[in-house]
Structure 1
Amino acid sequence: MIRLHHAHQTRSMRVIWMLEELGVEYDLVVHDFFDKSMRSEAFLAVSPAGRVPALEIDGQVMLESGAMLELLAERFPEAGLGRAADHAERAEWLDWLHYAETMGQHCANLTQSHIMLYEDWMRSPTVMKLEAKRLAKVIERIEAQLADGRDWLLAGGFSAVDCAVAYGLYVGQHFVRLDDLPKTRAYWQSFSARPSFAKALPPDGARLLYAQEFYEVPNG
């Protein structure tokens, strides 16, 4: 049994993409980021920090999305989304899987500054500007990786690392524009055209964490 606890526009999107790419059955439990459902005793028993994703799989609970992708790739090797320990791309695969969290951390910092700290006096325009520049810099690595004309991050083809990194682009584009990164822009368009992508999108009418298409750094 596989059960994924999810909230719209969070890192759990990565795991939905992966599960859909694998074509395996799973139960999706959707939580509202804006109410107190993730503070309920029932959910805290699954995820003590009250956060998503939480993946229940074969009687165990996982709380880190990168680890979830790695386990799922190993559990379903026939899908070809992982790279075995003796594979020539193994080190590169692992590096990109964890690099996704570098992107994710800058996205989280910007999300907190722009959205969670909702009063102007709470925010630091200097910090926001620095974080946007840092995020732009880490995204530039994708552009360099695609410079040889490959379609996906690894030369061997689509893999779990694309599901991991794509979330950074999904959120990151609310804070950084890809205008000067044509290969990254094309990569994103290719990913977002996959059927798995639509499965993770918030349904019409859902309350969104990112209510704006783009968040400008305020003057200050």
Structure 2
Amino acid sequence: MLKFYHSPWSRSSGVFWLLEELGQPYEIELVDIRAPGGVPEAYRAVQPNKKVPAIEHDGVVITERAAISVYLADRFHEAGLAPAIGEEARGPYLTTLVYCDSVFDPAISAKAQGWTYQSNNFSFGLFDDMVKYVEKKLTAHPYAAGDTFTAADTQLASGIGFTMNILKVLPALPVFTDYVARISERPAYQRAQARDAELIKQVTPPQF
């Protein structure tokens, strides 16, 4: 059985979308990451920093979005969401998945916090460089890994949509708005969004 540890309207929403794309049965374990008393200490046994997302599949726990995405898309390869090892698109696919966690997210956080720093101060580099890179990538190809939708798009599009439309940190460049609009037409995305809107009623809501 596949268990998904999730908090609505958070970084785990992209994995929620991916699970809907895969079409495999799974159960949701809600984690109230915004609870006044904090996340229960017992959850640390699943995720050492008490963050979401996390999954447990056949007794194995996987954390971190990139790792979860690679695992799920490869494990359920029949969904066609991951280029196979040896395919040309595998490189851009893996690059985008890791980039979302290691560069996109921390650069967004630094910008939101108003940090002033030099490019070599942090491994994720400058916010403006990140924006230019993602803009160039999506200008060259319609999807994160090239010309085909993959699991990488569930993470990149989730990040762009949230930080552009909700947090108002990422600039609403035409290539970003077009990408999110195109992606949001996918039925799996719409199902995940609708379910998140219901699940948020069961946990402490975010203060955006």
TM range, normalised to the smaller chain? 0.7 to 0.9
Report the Cα distance in structure 2 between the residues aligned to 1:108 and 1:2, rounded to whole angstroms. 31
Give the match for residue 2 of structure 1.
2
Match of 2:189 among 174, 197, 202: 197
In structure 2, runs of 5+ residues without a counterpart are 120-124
Give the match for residue 135 of structure 2.
143
Give the match for residue 158 of structure 1.
149
State how many pairs are aligned.
194
Give the match for residue 49 of structure 2.
49
For the 8 Å contact 1:178–1:185, the answer to whether it is kept is no
TM-score, normalised on structure 2?
A: 0.80
What SS does structure 2 have at the residue aligned with 1:38?
A: coil
Give the match for residue 85 of structure 1.
85
For the 8 Å contact 1:135–1:172, the answer to whether it is kept is no
Provide closer, same or farther for how the CA distance between residues 198 and 38 of structure 1 changes in structure 2, counting only shifts above 3 A.
Answer: farther
Pick the structure with greater CA Rg: 1
Provide closer, same or farther for how the CA distance between residues 108 and 126 of structure 1 changes in structure 2, counting only shifts above 3 A.
Answer: closer
What SS does structure 1 have at the residue aligned with 2:51?
A: coil
The amino acid of 1:157's aligned partner reads: T
Report the Cα distance in structure 2 between the residues aligned to 1:55 and 1:79, rounded to whole angstroms. 18
Return the offset for 1:153.
2.1
TM-score, normalised on structure 1?
A: 0.77
Give the match for residue 30 of structure 2.
30
Return the offset for 1:83.
1.3
The amino acid of 2:17's aligned partner reads: W
In structure 1, runs of 5+ residues without a counterpart are 114-124, 212-220
Return the offset for 1:177.
4.8
Cα RMSD (Å) of the superposition? Answer: 2.6
Give the match for residue 122 of structure 2.
none
Report the Cα distance in structure 1 between the residues aligned to 2:130 and 2:159, rounded to whole angstroms. 10
Q: Which runs of 4+ in 1 moved over 4 A?
A: none
Return the offset for 1:188.
0.9
Among the aligned pairs, what percent are the same residue?
A: 27
Report the Cα distance in structure 2 between the residues aligned to 1:197 and 1:139, rounded to whole angstroms. 24
Report the Cα distance in structure 2 between the residues aligned to 1:169 and 1:55, rounded to whole angstroms. 23
